[in-house]
Amino acid sequence: MKKRFLFVLFALILADSFAQEICNNNIDDDGDRLIDLYDLEDCPCTRMDTFKISLIPNPSFENVNCIPTGFSQLNCAENWEQATLATTDLFSTNGYVSSLVPLPIPNGNNCVATVFHWDWMEYLGTCLTGPLLAGQTYLLKFNVAANVALPISEVETPPISINLVMFGNTSCDPFPLQTYDCPESFGWKELGSINYTMQESWSTSYLFFKPQEDIYSIMLGGQCGYVDVEQHDALNGGQAYILWDDLQLNLASQEIIYYVPNTFTPNGDEHNNTFNPVFVCGYDPLEYRFDVYDRWGELVFTSMDAGTGWDGTYQGLPAKEGVFGWKLEYKAEDTSEKKVLTGHANLLR
């Protein structure tokens, strides 16, 4: 009897070790710590609509334990923390909303705002519902808006472009960090950033990144080392007010096939030197075309390769700063229908 029991137990363990991942049952069938759409090797480009829960808890700040009555009350939002000593703001149409908040709020009644200043950096932080695994590609999709002391239309400068940054930590240590500045000196590492052109209306942004180690907590805010005299003056003292909502963090998947940046800066540094759509998966690389036009409608760049972007030059010379139009033609790999999209982007140097 004992031998029979051991044989059955061994058979069950052996069967489990060779199990196949079922991509829509919310179970880790093959025992590799990855579930359904998070198992990119076994479920490549799995559609998000089978199972989608943001790894960020309370992603739209709708769950609250108190109603905000003024500034500096992020503590009212469940699962969110003042990540540093500089205080982040929670706003709610059920309670207090600053005149700096564009209405309506995109998802629900609540949103969060952070000040972006050269000596006062506000961050919002949280412990994730599950770890970001090293070597996997993730996508943070979020709604963002901005404001300044003066309306942007009254500031006679080019569009103000700043970096929005996600930092990560390998543990979920208590908040807040004892600083009014950047979290990097406390062991937090930059996971990724996007260059954002400030505008007083809500828009959707996408941040793709691949952590180099397992990450258990994150914080969001502005870039480190922000000392830019022109932006400082344009922002009437250097204060940018960034508003956040609906922070959807998941493995990159087929639901978002692409995104197109709204700004690029071909200035030779490490970021945003070329302009092109970024595809994740699900498109046919043989059916792709990307064109860029100047303000007079003249074609300045074209590419048939999704990996080749515009470097900001025209006829061998640097193009002038300004707004450029773009046209994207592509076909999803699982349909015969071609799609044509158009938009505009800012070239800044």
Is the pLDDT at 21 greater than 80? The verdict is no
Percentage of the chain modeled with pLDDT above 90:
43
Q: Which of 117, 108, 67 is nearest to 87 (CA)?
A: 117
- For residues 218 and 110, the answer to whether their CB atoms sit within 8 Å is no
Could you give the CA distance from residue 81 to residue 179 in angstroms, rounded to a whole number?
14
pTM of the entire structure?
Answer: 0.61
**Strand, coil or helix: what is 152?**
helix
- Label residue 12 exposed, middle or buried (CB < 10 Å: 0-12, 13-18, 19+): exposed
Is the pLDDT at 2 greater than 60? The verdict is no
Is the pLDDT at 10 greater than 50? The verdict is no
Is the pLDDT at 203 greater than 60? The verdict is yes
pLDDT of residue 32: 61
pLDDT of residue 104: 94
Is the pLDDT at 260 greater than 90? The verdict is no
pLDDT of residue 124: 95
* Structure confidence by residue, pLDDT tens digits, 141-173: 899 998 864 444 444 445 577 889 999 999 998
pLDDT of residue 270: 65
Give the pLDDT band of residue 333 (cuts 50, 70, 90).
Answer: low
Mean pLDDT of 257-283: 76
Q: DSSP letter at 174? A: P
Mean pLDDT of 95-115: 93
